[in-house]
A = this chain, B = another copy of it.
Amino acid sequence: MTQTSEQGLTRRERQREATYAEIVSTSRALLREGADLSLRAVASRMGMTAPALYRYVASYQELVDLVAFEIDKAATDEFRAAAAAQPDDDPMAQLICASVAFRRWALRETAEFSVVFANPVAASACHRRPEFITAWTSGLYMHGLLIKVWHETHFDHPDLDDLDPVVAAALREPLFPVDVTELPEGHLGMLWPFMQAWATLYGTVTLEVFGHMDPRIIESGSLFASMLGEWLPRLGYDDADGRYRALLLAEIARPE
């Protein structure tokens, strides 16, 4: 092999990597302009022809999967930044900020959100690489926050044996975004409230993004606020002083 850069990549490999990055960035630019994602549009904006993209991506669906993965990664950075405004020893405050950031991002970048979350995933990419499950990065991050919350409150969660055996078996070797090494020993059941919380969070936001709801209520953010507020006691906070509820409302009202 000829000279490789300090990352261990040859010139060609580095070029290839750069092209991948450009594909993703042009795709995201298209989505943000309201245009729809297409091989031809991406290629022509890059000064190429459509068939050239097949050197990087085997099909249109694979382009979508690639872009979705990168979008999710970038969005997670945004959630992380929002959470960073809260002290590190207050994971619930971080979780609130991250969740609100998730909603804010979804309502602002509806096209990007649709690519990641309103995109059937099961048969297409899941079986190849588990980490290509859409929302892998964001799910991992959110779950990490939830674990930090548990370390503070030790909130209740079912035991594996109390759950449907099928579910228990699934939780023992989960194929969704979770870092089991972060999970305290013998507390696999904590995954269950995580999935419940994720379902309601995802559901509320999807409902709002797709507009299946009175626009005035969406704009007010009340539905989202009540949904998130209901999770406080379940996560071990009575919030007697109303601090978290106040933070929640303030974050929702905060302009971009």
Interface centre among A164, A167, A199, A211 (most CB of B within 10 A): A199
**A226 at interface by CB-CB < 8 Å:** yes
A41–B216 Cα distance when bound, in Å, is: 38
The reply to whether the CB of A94 lies closer than 8 angstroms to some CB of chain B is: no
Copies in the complex: 2
Q: Which of A176, A195, A219 has the most CB of B within 10 A?
A: A195
Interface-lining segment among A23-31, A49-57, A201-209, A239-247: A201-209
User: Contacts A200-B200, A212-B134: A220 and B121 contacting too (C-beta < 8 A)?
Assistant: no
B176 touches A226 (CB 8 A): no
Given known contacts A220-B164, A220-B167, A213 and B200 CB-to-CB distance under 8 angstroms = no
Interface residues on A, range: 35 or more
Determine the chain B residues whose CB is within 8 A of the CB of A135 once the complex forms: 212
Task: Flag A116-138 by CB within 8 Å of B: 1 or 0 each.
Answer: 01111111001000000111000
Judge whether B122 and A216 touch: CB under 8 Å. no
A227 contacts the other chain (Cβ, under 8 Å)? yes
- Inter-chain contact A196/B223, CB cutoff 8 Å: yes
Q: Which B residues are CB-close (under 8 A) to A110?
A: 120
**How long is the Cα–Cα vector from A223 to B227 in the complex, in angstroms?**
17
Q: With a CB–CB cut-off of 8 A, which chain B residues contact A175?
A: 214
Q: Which residues of B contact A21 (CB under 8 A)?
A: none
Q: Is the interface of A mostly helix, strand, loop or mixed?
A: helix
CA distance A222 to B195 in the complex (A): 11
Contact B170 A217, beta carbon cutoff 8 Å: yes
User: Is A120 in contact with B196, judged by CB distance below 8 angstroms?
Assistant: no
Contact present for A216 and B117 (CB under 8 Å): no
| Residue A210, interface by CB 8 Å | yes
Q: How far is the CA of A184 from the CA of B210 in the complex (A)?
A: 30
- Indicate whether A163 reaches chain B with its CB closer than 8 angstroms: yes
CB of A81 closer than 8 Å to a CB of B: no
Apart from A121-B210, A170-B214, what are 12 other A-B pairs with CB-CB below 8 Å?
A: A117-B212, A118-B118, A120-B211, A134-B212, A166-B217, A166-B219, A166-B222, A170-B216, A195-B213, A196-B223, A199-B213, A203-B204
